[in-house]
Structure 1
């Protein structure tokens, strides 16, 4: 999945999560989702995050390959534990969820992901789409439409703007 599709599908699932749980749909929560949804692709130097990693993505890809370690549920659980022990902020929660949503989205691709790495290198998948395909484009726009619908129905955008303005006020 391309980076903008990861962002949109993760924001959509994050909005649904916020609509049906006590999680607030704030600016910091959505920032965490966006960053978390991009980070697993640090293992690909040509990815959006890889091009901005100051060469780190080359080292990660060299050591583990693309869709290797960074796409593992075990690694996600370790990262989630560390992040949540350090801070249980809405940003941290969004980051952990965004990372998980990325893995789930790639699980639905024809390439799959090594969910059980380092215990097993087998790639698991439900081959729904191919990266860059027309179906991925449909998923992007479908997620966008659902995000707008859920955001409107549950007044999530009002909550987001309110939190954003509060953050701005703190910085000034």
Structure 2
């Protein structure tokens, strides 16, 4: 999945999350989702975040490969410790965005190693898309409509400027 699609699908998932939990749809939460949705691709030097990582992406790719450890549930759980130690809207969004990224790649043809490093097998959903092809573009279009629908019908726009406690 390309970075734009990761961002848009993650914001859509975050908007939905705010309708079923007490998570607030604030700029800090959405900002956290956007950043978090990019972080798993730190294992690819040519990714959006990898090109801005000052060489860290090359080291991670050499150690774990692309769609390796950073795309696992273990990595997400370790990353989520940031919310445990610094609980706020932004870090909640970071953790959610990271998980949404893994979920997005779970639906791709290549899948993700959910249980890495214990089990390197890549898992994927029964119905998949190919990165950069029409399927991904349709997913992005559906996510854009989902954001508009969720924000409008649930009046999430009223929460955007709420201050974090």
Q: TM-score, normalised by structure 2?
A: 0.96
Alignment of 1:93-112 (within 5 A): 93-112=92-111
Residue 40 of structure 1 deviates from its aligned partner by 0.2
The superposition leaves residues 33-78 of structure 1 with CA deviations (integer Å, 9 ceiling, x where unpaired) of 0000000000001100000001110000011000001000011111
**Are residues 1:63 and 2:67 paired?**
no
Runs of 4+ in 1 over 4 A off after TM superposition: none
Distance of 1:25 and 1:122 partners within structure 2 = 35
Paired position in structure 2 for 1:31: 31
Distance of 1:25 and 1:85 partners within structure 2 = 20
**Are residues 1:46 and 2:55 paired?**
no
Gaps of 5+ in 1: 168-172
Alignment of 1:123-138 (within 5 A): 123-126=122-125, 127-138=127-138
Residue 16 of structure 1 deviates from its aligned partner by 0.3
Paired position in structure 1 for 2:154: 154
Distance of 1:60 and 1:17 partners within structure 2 = 31
Residue 9 of structure 1 deviates from its aligned partner by 0.2
Distance of 1:75 and 1:107 partners within structure 2 = 15
The number of aligned residues is 163
Residue 158 of structure 1 deviates from its aligned partner by 2.2
Distance of 1:147 and 1:101 partners within structure 2 = 15
The superposition leaves residues 107-162 of structure 1 with CA deviations (integer Å, 9 ceiling, x where unpaired) of 100000100001011101115101001010010010000100000011111211x2
Q: TM-score, normalised by structure 1?
A: 0.92
